[in-house]
Structure 1
Amino acid sequence: MHQVQNQLQSLVQHLCNLLNRMDKCIIYLMRLNLQNYKLKQISYFIKQPLGRICQKAAFFLQGKHRPTFRNCDQVTFDNIIIVNAENIVLTGKKALKKTIFYHSGYVGGIKERSYKHYLTQKPEQLIYYCISKMLPKNKKRRDLLQKIRIFRGLQHDHKEFPNVEFNQNIKQNYYDNNQKNIFKKFLPQTKPLVDEKLYNPFLQNIENLVIKYQSAQDTPKEFEGLKKDIDHNFEIPFNQRDKVVKLSAHNIKVFKAWKKYHAKLRRYKIHKIRPPLNRDPNNSRKSILITSEKYIKEHNLGKYIEPEEAPEEDDTIVKSFPKPTKIIY
Structure 2
Amino acid sequence: MNIGINYDKIDAVTGFNYVGMMKCELVQQQFSGSNKLIKNNTYQLKMFIRPVIYKTYGYYGSSLSWSNPNFGILTVKLRKSKMRYSIENTICSSSNYCDKLSENSGNTIQILNETITLNIYPNGNWYELNATFKAPSDAESYDWVVIELSDQESNCDTYILIDDVSITMDCDDCSRTSGCMNPSTNDVHWACSAEATNCAPNNYLKFWNLDNVKKAELYIYNVNSALISSSVVKSENGITNPIYWDGKNINGGFEMVPGPYLYELHMWNDCGKAPVFKNSFEKSHFGTGPSSYPPVYEYSDIITPKACCQNDIYVDNITWKARV
Using structure 1 for the length normalisation, give the TM-score: 0.19
With CA pairs under 8 Å and 6+ residues apart, which has the higher RCO, 1 or 2? 2
- Structure with bigger gyration radius: 1
Using structure 2 for the length normalisation, give the TM-score: 0.19
